[in-house]
A and B are shown apart, each in its own frame.
Chain A
């Protein structure tokens, strides 16, 4: 199964915060940690893919 990267998007820039094992984990991680990254638009992508900006 592919891993999912939690990413922080700021305008046209993005960076990987962490990697999780499933889509469900990715959704839950974002829900738990949204407040810790107020300056980011949090999203997740499969490893090896590019986000849609």
Chain B
């Protein structure tokens, strides 16, 4: 069973990003899940829940997400939308009832590198507006499987996400969606689809982060330049480095010989 880390590992973010309201820590397991999902995602959207714990510190909210449940997508057209199967909600309810987790949030995928849709933001709005249900701010997550592959997170409060992988830690600070190039289009679409004014107003409060999945993957080590049989002769990089070294030697050695002859060595 996966466990939460001590809250001190998240709390220090409050001092580093005092202007934010939410602080999210995402563990290696979830990251691996994101990366695998992005690679696997084909024409169909996938959906699941991320699970973890939350804590309030004054008016700040801290969240750790360290587990997930993959759900069956029961949408009529799963190539364009995603709705979790009821048994998935039952499982989350059960895990809450037995006290294993106290927070969950939605993660879904897009088969191409496309932004969240107006409908995705409406789902967020529905989650946010019921304050008696929603005691936390947890962002919704979107993973895209296009040429690049992104993780997006979006919610209605300014937040920071701490991505923890085996290789590195990344901190990503949210920015207002109403400063995005596409924001006016979303407002226009929401109005033409006759969404409530309250929802259109809600759009202006959305904060989001975007991160390339490749930036979370482990950095491949540079080929080591060793003498003898372990030299990486088979790689282009290795060959290039050997050539550079030979040129360098040709340039430097005569200078050393001259200096030696002059008695400076």
List residues of A whose CB falls within 8 A of some B CB: 1-2, 4, 12, 22-23, 26-27, 30, 42-46, 49-53
Top 5 closest pairs, chain A to chain B, by CB: A49-B114, A50-B115, A45-B114, A45-B112, A43-B147
For the residues of A in contact with B, the DSSP-based class is mixed
Task: Tell me whether B111 and A46 are in contact (CB under 8 A).
Answer: yes
Take A2-B43, A2-B79, A52-B150 as given contacts and tell me if A26 and B112 are in contact as well, using a CB distance cutoff of 8 Å.
yes
Residues of B within 8 A of A (CB): 42-43, 79-80, 110-115, 117, 144, 146-148, 150, 152, 181-182, 185, 210
- Known: A2-B43, A2-B80, A12-B181. Contact between A50 and B147, CB under 8 A? no
What residues on A are CB-neighbors of B148 within 8 Å? 43, 52
Find chain A residues with CB under 8 A from B42 CB.
Answer: 23
Q: List 25 A-B contacts (CB under 8 A).
A: A1-B43, A2-B43, A23-B111, A26-B112, A42-B147, A43-B113, A43-B147, A45-B113, A45-B146, A46-B80, A46-B110, A46-B114, A49-B114, A49-B117, A50-B115, A50-B182, A50-B185, A51-B113, A51-B114, A52-B113, A52-B115, A52-B148, A52-B150, A53-B181, A53-B182
Complex CA–CA separation, A42 to B146 (angstroms): 11
Q: Which residues of chain A have C-beta atoms less than 8 A from B144's C-beta?
A: 52
Give CA–CA (A26, B185) in the complex, Å: 25
